[in-house]
Amino acid sequence: MFVTIWSYEVEPEHRLAFEALYGESGPWVELFRASPDYVRTILVIDPVRRNLYTSVDVWKTRAAYELFCDEQAAVYAALDDQGDALTKHETHLGTWQLSPDP
């Protein structure tokens, strides 16, 4: 499995809109679900500073994720623009390969 992780500082007045966009039934997840290689997205919120979020997108492979992003570049960019309007900062924390199951 492959993961890509993002951190967001959301404008306080846009928290609900952000959660709707990036949440389990939001447009990002719906876009990703078009790929059979997408596994899931986990969206977590900082319990103290409630305008800080982290998303973890899980894919079967890095190659599948990269191909999907290339093929869906226009839709991806449009959704990213919507997210930019809701956030103060967005940081890509990195990508990781999950170790194999024992």
- Residue 20 belongs to some domain of the structure: yes
pTM score, whole prediction: 0.90
In a domain, 91, yes or no: yes
Let me know if residue 30 belongs to a domain.
Answer: yes
Phi and psi of 89, rounded to 5°? -145, 145
Residue 102 is assigned to a structural domain of this protein:
no
Checking if the pLDDT of 102 tops 50, the result is no
Residue pLDDT, tens place only, 34-65:
999 999 999 999 999 999 999 999 999 999 99
- Classify residue 18: in a domain, yes or no: yes
Q: Which domain holds residue 77?
A: 2-97
| Residues 8, 52 contacting (CB under 8 angstroms) | yes
The CATH code of the domain that includes 55 is 3.30.70.100
Q: Is residue 47 one of the residues assigned to a domain?
A: yes
Number of structural domains in the chain: 1
Query: Do the domain assignments include residue 53?
Result: yes
pLDDT score recorded for residue 101 = 53
Residue 61 lies in a domain: yes
Contacts of 29 (CB under 8 A, 6+ apart): 22, 23, 41
